[in-house]
Amino acid sequence: MEENRTDRDQVKQEFMQQLLDSYFLVRRPLPEQGFFQENKTTQQIMQELSPMMVIPSEDIVEYMVAHEYSTTTDADGSVCWAIWRRLTKMD
């Protein structure tokens, strides 16, 4: 029984990592040519990912820090993650 729980936890962790990697595939922690700034809070990221998996805020923060994302102050004075997103051409 314990082995099944461990296996499920491992699958959940692997999927969470895959989901976060996919979400950030077109996003960067620093500005680059062809990218625009798209600030988001941890809550906004959680909401965007929730149709696939509910990811706790602590796990998102851990991922962001590990991938060298930093915080910034948005136009309304709120604190959010500084994220640069690749411009994609719409066909």
- Are 53 and 22 in contact by the 8 Å Cβ rule? The answer is no
- Are 85 and 23 in contact by the 8 Å Cβ rule? The answer is no
pLDDT value at residue 88: 72
Q: Can you tell me which residue has the tokens 């994220």?
A: 83
pLDDT digits (tens, 9 = 90+) for 17-74: 999 999 999 999 999 999 999 999 999 999 999 999 999 999 999 999 999 999 999 9
Provide the pLDDT confidence category of residue 90 given band limits of 50, 70 and 90: very low
Nearest to 20 by CA among 50, 36, 38: 50
